[in-house]
């Protein structure tokens, strides 16, 4: 695969073009990564300060006590979305539900390992370990192992 970078003069003309014979999982991954790069989300820090943060920095979203939190490497933000809205809005950005209360970033997933009773652990690149519930384990295994056939 050839990769080219061409410098342009105006920021508003920036774009990523993927030309391929076939839309493979690798191409879908590149597409998803490019979409994620400049997506900003507003969130409330623990000291009640509103800040913008990058979607690509989010390891996972978690619902606790009817609030949704985004966990990045540096900060935890409360966001004004429901978990099902997060799941739907960021599915093309490689975010996937792994339990009733967690949506994780597959781009920051290091690997998975078996746990008890048909569940798995998601090992994130920051060292955290998240439980993958039985109901979501098969779909995550398919996506991680490259068995997904959805088109970008």
When the pLDDT of each residue in the chain is averaged and rounded to a whole number, the result is: 88
Q: Given a cut of 80, is residue 60 above it in pLDDT? A: yes
Specify the residue for token string 């913008």.
52
Alpha-carbon distance of 51 to 76, in angstroms, equals 11
Q: Would you say residue 1 lies in a domain?
A: no
Domain membership of residue 25 as a residue range: 21-144
The CA–CA distances, whole Å, from 138 to 42, 73, 144 equal 32, 27, 10
- What lies within 8 Å, CB to CB, of 82 at 6+ separation is 63, 68
Show the beta-strand stretches assigned E in 1-47: 40-44
Alpha-carbon distance of 139 to 45, in angstroms, equals 32
Q: Say which CATH number the domain at 81 has.
A: 2.40.50.1020
Instruction: Return the structure tokens found at 27.
Output: 């191409």
Provide the domain count of the chain.
Answer: 1
17, with CB counted inside 10 A (0-12, 13-18, 19+), is exposed
pLDDT digits (tens, 9 = 90+) for 4-21: 888 889 888 888 888 889
Q: Would you say residue 12 lies in a domain?
A: no
Mean pLDDT of all residues in 102-111: 94
Mean pLDDT of all residues in 101-126: 92
Q: Given a cut of 70, is residue 149 above it in pLDDT? A: no
Is the whole model's pTM more than 0.95, yes or no?
A: no
Q: Would you say residue 151 lies in a domain?
A: no
Q: Would you say residue 2 lies in a domain?
A: no
């Amino acid at each position: 695969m050839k990769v080219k970078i061409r410098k342009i003069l105006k920021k508003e003309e920036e774009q990523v073009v993927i030309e391929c014979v076939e839309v493979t999982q690798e191409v879908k991954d590149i597409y998803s990564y490019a979409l994620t790069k400049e997506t900003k989300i507003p969130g409330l820090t623990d000291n009640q300060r509103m800040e913008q943060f990058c979607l690509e920095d989010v390891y996972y979203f978690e619902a606790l006590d009817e609030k949704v939190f985004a966990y990045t490497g540096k900060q935890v933000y409360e966001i004004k979305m429901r978990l099902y809205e997060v799941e739907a809005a960021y599915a093309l950005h490689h975010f996937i539900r792994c339990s009733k209360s967690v949506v994780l970033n597959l781009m920051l997933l290091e690997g998975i390992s078996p746990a008890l009773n048909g569940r798995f652990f998601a090992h994130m690149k920051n060292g955290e370990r998240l439980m993958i519930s039985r109901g979501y384990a098969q779909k995550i295994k398919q996506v991680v192992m490259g068995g997904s056939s959805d088109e970008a």
